[in-house]
A and B are shown apart, each in its own frame.
Chain A
Amino acid sequence: MISDIFNLAFLTGLIGATLRMATPIIFATLGEIISERSGVLNLGIEGTMLMGAMTGFLVTLITGSQWLGVFTAAIAGILLGLLMAFLAVYLGLSQHVSGLGITLFATGLSMFIYRLKVGSPTVPPTVDPFKKVVIPVLSDIPVIGSSIFSSYLLTYIAIILIPLVSLLLYKTKVGLKIRTVGANPFAADTVGVNVNLLRTLCLMTGGALMAIGGSFLTLAHQNMFLIDVVGGRGWIAIAMTIFGNWDPVKGAAGALIFGVLDGFQLRLQALGFRIPFHIFLMIPYLITIVALVSVSRKATVPASLLKPYRREEKGS
């Protein structure tokens, strides 16, 4: 049985599954990193992903266009980011409470809209999911060819986004401003950066990425919408943000590790061990916790994370 686990076909399957499982988490982690680097913890992530999953699915169901679905999901994510900005940035409310509130709200709203449109049929409707995009030549390479180079377009986009977000944060003017706003908003304000506007833009961008990650779940990973389709992946992205020390490359690496574990447990399930499959489901989460414990002690949190910014007009 052990030899079954480690043959080439298994490896190919594992790499493919890894990328598939990691894609939504990479999107969400990058979104969360952008938000947190600007100083706002967005716990609305889980709800935003579900909203994206639902919106993407419904729009695709109605129009037949998956890309229109992804696009609409991104819009929904932007709106939820805007709501988060209103609560946590402009009103200065607790980021924890605002974020959790948005997750609860978005979860309820997603269910509501889905029911409104679809009702509750015994067999849930399905859409035509994204097709895998096989890259010529490269896909002929053994093992990685049929795994890495025949993935969904969204997976390729997620991979390309990793260095792009890194570039954005570390090499661009706006990136320097984002990092400064997250570390010392007063410093940013005194050189003429509009702190709250920039934080809002980061939350909107982050929300879009989270929602796109969510839409991958109903348009590629599966082809239907279920209430538990996100299944805690938003929380995993929060963990990966910390695990990656707020760095896009390291955070995405964490998402890939999670993807490996998730892919691995799927393979194990498929091999038919006589153990309840819930045990396998637990593995990636368990290892995430262990990894967090060992890594997060050394974490350098953006210094003004969780702190709303206002000019200190005394007495007001």
Chain B
Amino acid sequence: MTYGKEPVVEMQGITKRFLDVVANKNIDFSLFPGEICALLGENGAGKTTLMNILFGYYSCDEGKIFIKGEEVSLSSPRDAIKRGVGMIHQHFTLVPSQTVLENVIIGAEPGRWLLIDKKSAREKLIRLQKKFGLLIDPDAEVWTLSVGERQKVEILKALYRNVDILIMDEPTAVLALAEIVELFKTLKALASENRSIIFISHKLHEVMEISDRIVVLRNGEVVAERKTGETNVKELANLMVGRELLERIEKKEITPGERVLSVDDLTVLSDRGLEAVKKVSFSLHKYEILGMAGVSGNGQKELAEVLFGIREKSGGKIFIKGKELKDGNPHESIKRGIARIPEDRIDTGLLMDLSVEENLILEVHSTPAFQQRGLFNFQNIHNFSETKIREYNIKTDNRDAPTKTLSGGNLQKVILARELAGEPIVLIACQPTRGLDVGAMEYIHARLLEQRDRGCGILLISEDLDEIFLLSDRIIVIYEGRIIGEADIHQATREQIGLWMSGVEEK
């Protein structure tokens, strides 16, 4: 890293307000050629907003932007791209039904007049692919690609436009371990070509591994800037959160009790009709957190959906406290004491347009306490929702606020409040802290442990090894729809679980 060079990007005194919320407060930020700069901060710290301003997607209320020494005013992404700034968003900007080539060239199609010159487009794409080792069939339709491959398409899309300032918004959030390693290789290759990269993240270990320099944002302000070699994870965590974090959550030793959930030879088909879960058997006990580790897409979703009652199994049996669970019926699952935290809070967990209160009573709205003769008893409903909002410290304007106005952490709290209200026997938690910041994560973890200590059996489905090791009493690993390994928390090692997760079985 050379600080002697002129910065390629300089943002001075950037302020951005959304109605009455100040998302960026007088931020100064610069980026140097050939460096990988991490923008670290919790959700809502203003990282993405700042970068959307640099990308021309938002306009800033105050401040100046210089790119390559020239003051610019960016009114749309087109202006930014012209100056070599590209951004890869968390939600991919790809069209699944179109080919890789079509996705890459859109908006920058070669060719005279109306017609696209596919031949020269393809040649240019293949040249880039070879140069950076991003090999994907240009004619493959994007829906057939894995998430990691899709990200490569996004990177190619930026490179195709000769982007030399690349912003990546939480690029690892959706990737498997092996894919992250590959991504980091690509980023380093890009930086060695004197391209600059801004890496937005809240994952401390990754930031330490990939970046040259780290800028920490909190509540819309830059609170610190460090050279990566001169800081450590603990310092960064404290800077990011603004307080000392708990070193480790207290976890009581409790002997597991009776068996509450058992799954025997369960087989489940995926949407495409393939076997996503293959003859899986395991059991879960009272006072126990069973961590199911595995890279996403290995059958976890289908397994959870059967337990949730929203997918039918094709073979095997499920027992709750020794009595068989009828499948394909969510009402039955709720009635039998299964609490459900779905993988996708926004699509399946909540109704984003309904109020917080309505979401809180979704599963219990027809119980006698809340309705008589087909009419709601609003007195009881209001009491219930007010209590839950207080108990779970849900940050919302009021109980009638549309759920979509809440932040990610608070959305998850609404789900927790709803699911745990009935004192469930079994809790199925799918990726419960994915995408959440450290504070919210800490909170969710504490609540899960509290449930376990109460006697709930928890199936924790997660691909976050830190989380698995922090909470679980026992770990099973799912790979390609099968349980490939099992270990007690005291015997389990990260290496072993990691190997299992990548499909390496014991001899």
Contact = CB atoms under 8 A, between A and B. Distances in A.
Contacts of A190: 55, 57, 77, 87, 89, 93
Contacts of A315: 18-19, 21
A191 B106 contact: yes
A179 B23 contact: no
A188 B107 contact: yes
A302 to B, nearest CB: 9
B106 A188 contact: yes
Interface string B79-113: 00100000101010111111000110111110100
B77 A303 contact: no
Contacts of A184: 93-95
B110 to A, nearest CB: 9
A186 B76 CA distance: 12
B114 A191 contact: no
Contact of B106 (A177, A313, A314): A177
How many residues of A sit at the interface, in one of the four size bands?
A: 20 to 34
A180 B97 contact: no
A171 interface: yes
Contacts of B108: 191
B178 interface: no
B98 A180 contact: yes
B93 A186 contact: yes
Interface in B42-57: 55, 57
A311 interface: yes
B95 A183 contact: yes
Contact of A183 (B19, B98, B116): B98
Nearest to B59: A313
Given A171-B115, A172-B116, A316-B19, A303 B107 contact: no
B116 A192 contact: no
Contacts of B114: 168, 172-174
A161 interface: no
B57 A311 contact: yes
A8 interface: no
B97 A303 contact: yes
Contacts of B91: 186
Given A180-B95, A311-B57, A187 B106 contact: yes
Contacts of B78: 191-192
B114 to A, nearest CB: 4
Contacts of B19: 315-316
Contact of B58 (A177, A188, A189, A313): A313
Contacts of A316: 18-19
Interface in B342-380: none
Q: Which of A177, A183, A314 has the most CB of B within 10 A?
A: A314
Interface in A210-224: none
Contacts of A300: 97
A176 B109 contact: yes
Interface in B158-196: 161
Given A172-B116, A176-B116, A192-B78, A187 B95 contact: yes
A258 B50 CA distance: 55
B272 to A, nearest CB: 14
Nearest to A193: B107
A18 B356 CA distance: 57
Contacts of A189: 57, 76-77
Interface string A252-265: 00000000000000
B113 to A, nearest CB: 9
A311 B106 CA distance: 19
B341 to A, nearest CB: 26
Given A187-B93, A314-B21, 20 more contacts: A172-B115, A174-B114, A176-B109, A176-B116, A183-B95, A183-B98, A184-B93, A186-B89, A187-B103, A189-B77, A191-B81, A191-B93, A191-B106, A191-B107, A191-B157, A191-B161, A192-B81, A303-B95, A313-B58, A315-B19
3 closest Cβ pairs, A-B complex = A192-B78, A191-B107, A187-B93
13 contacts: A172-B115, A173-B116, A176-B105, A184-B94, A186-B91, A187-B93, A189-B57, A190-B87, A191-B106, A191-B157, A193-B107, A313-B58, A315-B18
Interface of B: 18-19, 21, 23, 55, 57-58, 76-78, 81, 87, 89, 91, 93-98, 102-103, 105-109, 111, 114-116, 157, 161
